[in-house]
């Protein structure tokens, strides 16, 4: 596995990200068309992507952080076959080494289904294990998603 840092995504990478998104995220968040992904990406200000690529040059994970209202936000997807092997933590660590703060929305329940019909497992414990805090009073409640805000802040060096 190798990690690729990039500011720009090419067409094959975008195709692979959309496939991974639709496979791993709840079906309610499905990107129906390639343009849905393009629209999502076009709204990200100052994006920084990290791609996880396997030996067959297939995309197995995607991380992006971006600016929103003077804060750094992120999204991350990892192929479920690779979860629990430390690769997601490594992806996060790469970003946490570079950024002083990261914010995200995380589904904190297991009521949603993935496209394969299996339950979407909340990654909240993963983020807590990796040094994030939950901001329970800051929730995103939409038709497509119910999520809680999480935040990582780098401790200032003494």
- Residue 134 pLDDT exceeds 60: yes
Task: Decide if pLDDT at 86 tops 60.
Answer: yes
pLDDT for res 84: 85
For residue 99, pLDDT beyond 90? yes
- What pLDDT score was predicted for residue 90? 96
pTM (2 d.p.)? 0.92
| 2-153: CATH, from 2.60.40.1120, 3.20.20.80, 3.40.50.620, 3.40.630.30 | 3.40.630.30
41-79: pLDDT as tens digits = 999 999 999 999 999 999 999 999 999 999 999 999 999
Alpha-helical segments (H) within 26-150: 34-42, 87-98, 124-129
Confidence (pLDDT) at 157: 57
Q: What is the mean pLDDT of residues 127-135?
A: 96
State the burial class of residue 8 (Cβ atoms within 10 Å of its Cβ: 0-12, 13-18, 19+): exposed
**Domain ranges in the chain?**
2-153
pLDDT at res. 158: 46
**pLDDT at position 8:** 96
Neighbour-count burial of 4, counting CB atoms closer than 10 A to its CB (0-12 exposed, 13-18 middle, 19+ buried): exposed
């Amino acid at each position: 596995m190798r990690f690729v840092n990039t500011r720009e995504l090419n067409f094959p990478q975008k195709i692979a990200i959309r496939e991974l998104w639709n496979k791993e995220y709840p079906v309610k968040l499905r990107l129906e068309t390639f343009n849905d992904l393009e629209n999502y990406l076009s709204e990200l200000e100052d994006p920084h992507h990290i791609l996880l690529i396997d030996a067959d040059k297939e995309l197995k994970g995607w991380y992006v952080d971006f600016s929103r209202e003077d804060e750094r936000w992120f999204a991350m997807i990892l192929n479920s076959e690779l979860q629990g092997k430390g690769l997601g933590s490594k992806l996060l660590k790469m970003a946490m080494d570079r950024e002083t703060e990261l914010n995200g929305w995380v589904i904190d329940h297991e009521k949603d289904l993935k496209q394969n019909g299996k339950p979407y497992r909340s990654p909240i414990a993963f983020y807590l294990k990796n040094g994030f805090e939950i901001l329970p009073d800051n929730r995103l409640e939409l038709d497509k998603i119910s999520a809680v805000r999480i935040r990582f802040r780098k401790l200032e060096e003494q």
